[in-house]
Amino acid sequence: METMRDKRIDVAVLTVNQDYMDASNAAAVKQDILRQLDGRTQAILDLSRVAFVDSAGLSGLLACLQQVAQAGGDLKLCGITDEVRVLFDLIKMQRLFEIFDSTEQAVLACEG
């Protein structure tokens, strides 16, 4: 997992370096995300390298969102591939997450 911190605002920008998020790795990815947040309550999760997400992967993302929300923060998603977007649209993930096309758009949303 790559981590970047935007200097303009206190936001963690995390890139998932996996081709997929499924039952075989969802728990590890979730733990890595939560560890990388390091107490920050504003985060952007870049999923541009993820081509497949199953129910376990979705569950991991929702668990991360819940933990960040309980701390009074927000978790935004960006860079979702077309394959993953089909699933997210089908189950209406945009009701739970703010989803942006790029990291830059998500950072701008955090600023204002």
pLDDT (tens digit per residue) in 7-66: 556 788 999 989 999 999 999 999 998 888 877 888 999 999 999 999 999 999 999 999
Give pLDDT tens digits for 75-101.
999 999 999 999 999 999 999 999 999
Residue 71 has φ and ψ, to the nearest 5°, of -90, 5
Domain count, the chain: 1
Q: What is the CB-side half-sphere exposure of residue 17 using CA atoms within 13 A?
A: 4
Assigned domain for 111 exists: no
Assigned domain for 112 exists: no
C-alpha dihedral over 13, 17, 21, 25, to 10 degrees?
-110
Q: Could you tell me the CA-to-CA distances from 69 to 12, 27, 59, 87, 89 in Å, in that order?
A: 15, 19, 15, 23, 22
- Which single residue is written with the structure tokens 């998500």? 106
| Boundaries of domain holding 7 | 2-105
pLDDT at residue number 26: 93
For residue 33, what is the domain's CATH number?
3.30.750.24
Characterize the bridge pairing of strands 98-100 and 11-15. Answer: unpaired
- The beta strand positions in the chain, using DSSP E, are 2-6, 11-15, 20-21, 42-46, 52-53, 74-78, 98-100
Q: What's this model's pTM, rounded to 2 decimal places? A: 0.90
Residue 31: Cβ within 10 Å count: 13
